[in-house]
């Protein structure tokens, strides 16, 4: 992982050491969010309720990371006289972990949807929704790789990947909203509509992470 700041003697600068620790914590939090996303996918599309039951435990870990990283950023800003470049990193981290925390929340929501939809027969749109989920997961992985490598190009590329997820959302929403002659109750359709909204928002937050990485590297929003 590249260092986020350049300093003539970085190892002897307290803010620099603290920011390196923050980098590691953010990536550890990101790994937990990736795991929660994979489990929610498994719960919804493989009908694996055991995976769904794991999500609340993971979400608590993610929330603890979020609170700790936010607190650490605030402490560095107020107590360690960081440089302007340090402040840029800390500002980005505070926003970035919020994006990660929201993706974790949406993963937990997807697991709850998986539990509620389990009694119903699989819907015909599930393969398309699964593809949308795979694309959103790939975006999250790309955003975290961009963060680890401080790769501005990969970070900015996410907004183009997000267009594919948005297109899938629009198509699936139209399919679900205009379905006619629905046998029985409409709860499965409502649940799947909520699911694709969660996925669309998860992709948006992954895009945000990429933009924040670009800001760390260039200082430009």
Q: How buried is residue 2: exposed, middle or buried, by Cβ count under 10 Å (0-12/13-18/19+)?
A: exposed
CATH class of the domain defined by 10-218:
mainly alpha
pLDDT at 12 over 70: no
96 closest CA partner among 57, 69, 58: 69
Confidence band, pLDDT 50/70/90 cuts, at residue 110: very high
Beta carbons within 8 Å of 18's beta carbon, 6+ residues apart: 72, 76, 80
Q: What is the pLDDT of residue 6?
A: 47
Exposed e or buried b per residue across 28-42, where buried means at least 16 C-beta atoms within 10 angstroms of its C-beta:
ebbebbbbbbebbbb
Q: What is the pLDDT of residue 124?
A: 94
The whole-angstrom separation of Cα 182 and Cα 189 is 9
High-pLDDT (> 70) share of the chain, %: 93
Confidence band, pLDDT 50/70/90 cuts, at residue 36: very high
Side-chain-side CA neighbours of residue 63 (13 Å)? 10
Write down the residue that tokens 């937050």 correspond to. 205
- What does the pLDDT average to over 195-199? 98
Q: What is the pLDDT of residue 3?
A: 47
The length of the chain is 221
The whole-angstrom separation of Cα 170 and Cα 100 is 24
pLDDT at 11 over 80: no
- In sign, the C-alpha dihedral spanning 106, 108, 114, 117 is negative
Helix (H, G, I), strand (E, B) or coil at 94: helix
Beta carbons within 8 Å of 95's beta carbon, 6+ residues apart: 208, 212
Confidence band, pLDDT 50/70/90 cuts, at residue 8: very low
Helix (H, G, I), strand (E, B) or coil at 124: coil
Beta carbons within 8 Å of 120's beta carbon, 6+ residues apart: 187, 188
Residues 51-104 pLDDT 10s: 999 999 999 999 999 999 999 999 998 888 788 888 999 999 999 999 999 999
Confidence band, pLDDT 50/70/90 cuts, at residue 2: low
**Which parts of 46-83 fold into alpha helices (H)?**
49-79
pLDDT at 27 over 50: yes
125 closest CA partner among 184, 185, 9, 44: 44
């Amino acid at each position: 992982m590249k260092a986020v700041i350049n300093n003539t003697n970085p190892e002897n600068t307290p803010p620099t050491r603290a920011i390196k620790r923050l980098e590691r914590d953010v990536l550890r939090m990101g790994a937990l969010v990736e795991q929660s996303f994979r489990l929610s996918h498994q719960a919804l599309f493989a009908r694996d309720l055991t995976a769904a039951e794991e999500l609340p435990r993971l979400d608590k870990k993610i929330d603890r990371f979020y609170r700790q990283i936010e607190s650490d950023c605030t402490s560095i800003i107020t107590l360690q006289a960081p440089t302007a470049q340090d402040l840029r990193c800390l500002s980005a981290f505070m926003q970035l972990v919020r994006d990660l925390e929201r993706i974790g929340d949406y993963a937990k929501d997807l697991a709850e949807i998986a539990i509620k939809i389990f009694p119903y027969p699989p819907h015909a749109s599930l393969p398309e929704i699964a593809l949308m989920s795979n694309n959103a997961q790939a975006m999250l992985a790309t955003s975290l790789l961009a963060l680890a490598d401080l790769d501005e190009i990969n970070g900015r590329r996410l907004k183009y990947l997000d267009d594919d997820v948005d297109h899938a959302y629009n198509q699936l929403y139209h399919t679900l909203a205009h379905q006619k002659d629905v046998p029985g109750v409409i709860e499965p359709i409502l649940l799947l509509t909520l699911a694709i909204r969660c996925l669309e928002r998860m992709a948006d937050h992954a895009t945000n992470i990429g933009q924040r990485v670009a800001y760390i590297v260039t200082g430009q929003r």
